[in-house]
Amino acid sequence: GEIAPAPRGAGGFGYDPVFFYPPLGRTFGELTDREREDVSHRALAARAARALLSG
């Protein structure tokens, strides 16, 4: 991601309004919870762990 020139959005927490995610063209503060989960490194790791443990 990139640092936005100005904060945008009220969602998320902390740095989310200034963290710009180019593939979606918005800051994390502008994303819905679902969109944020879809690209979250923690969510990706949890899905990989679930697949590994259930396989």
Query: pLDDT (tens digit, 9 = 90+) per residue, 6-55?
Result: 999 999 999 999 999 999 999 999 999 999 999 988 889 999 999 999 97
**The pLDDT value given to residue 24:** 97
Q: How many domains does the chain have?
A: 1
* Range(s) of the domain holding residue 21: 2-54
3-state secondary structure the chain: CEECCCCCCCCCCCCHHHEEECCCCEEHHHCCHHHHHHHCHHHHHHHHHHHHHHC
What is the spatial distance between Cα 32 and Cα 53, in angstroms, rounded to a whole number? 29
**The pLDDT value given to residue 55:** 78
**The pLDDT value given to residue 50:** 96
